[in-house]
Structure 1
Amino acid sequence: MSLFISPANNDDITELCTLLHSLFSQEAEFSPNTELQTRALQWIIDNPHIGIIFVARQNHNVVGMVSVLFTLSTALGAEVGILEDLVVAPNARGLGIGKALLEHVLAFAHTRKLARISLLTDADNAAAQRLYQQAGFQRSSMACYRWFNS
């Protein structure tokens, strides 16, 4: 398997929306919406100070993606990342692509000197939780709360 991981560009947005559709179809709190996902992906790609999206390609086909959004931690006094949207195409799962994307993000975090990476995953997604734990992520004692501006 020849896998190539690189930053996403505008030409990738349609395929990234397809991946996000797959992800948001299985997540409890979110629903696919191509218009909203296109807007967000475009915003990240056009504004590299906000974050970065990495795309995994196999034989020139997009088979996975992951994004890291940047923010500051007052507790750590440093820039930190929020890992979002790690997803592998359904027909490419089980090939180590998710692990490769995660390893790529961690190497990027070291290079950028991010002090921490945080993420959320569905409470019942045992496979994702195993992947994150194997990569060195630890379960936080913090509880996630959300407020939506309606």
Structure 2
Amino acid sequence: DVPYSEGLFTSYRAEDAAAKSAFPFGHGLSYTTFTYDQPKQLTEGECQAFVCVTATVSNSGRSGASGSEVAQAYVEFPPSAEEPKLVLRGFHKTAVLAPGAEEVAMFNFTRRDLSIYRGGGWQLQHDIKLHIGSSSAPLYWLSMSIS
């Protein structure tokens, strides 16, 4: 038998430096750069899911190159949840954006996306932080709280 005691704490979710990967999850190279506007939570009337969040992704590169981006949404549960610090819960691949062009990335979260499994059932968590960016590295994040 091989014990797998790390559970969910692997790769980008690892808190132990020995278990971390060489590059952040989602890391990639491009001939251009992208910027993100602050995420916005939509109202109930605008949203068909439990929670909907948008963020505008812009090709801000000076090279004149077009490119596409994969915006990623990570949920950070409160420390009391005893879950990995980050859990990938959504992504949005943009079309190929010309320099200066932008696209709105939409993330639709179900109740289960914002819950953890405990005691035989799913428990919705409160005071969740949402991080949107190009990888799991905090350098590129824009954050918001969902209550």
Q: TM-score, normalised by structure 2?
A: 0.29
Structure whose residues are more often strand by fraction: 2
Structure whose residues are more often helix by fraction: 1
Report the structure number with the largest CA radius of gyration. Answer: 2
Q: TM-score, normalised by structure 1?
A: 0.28
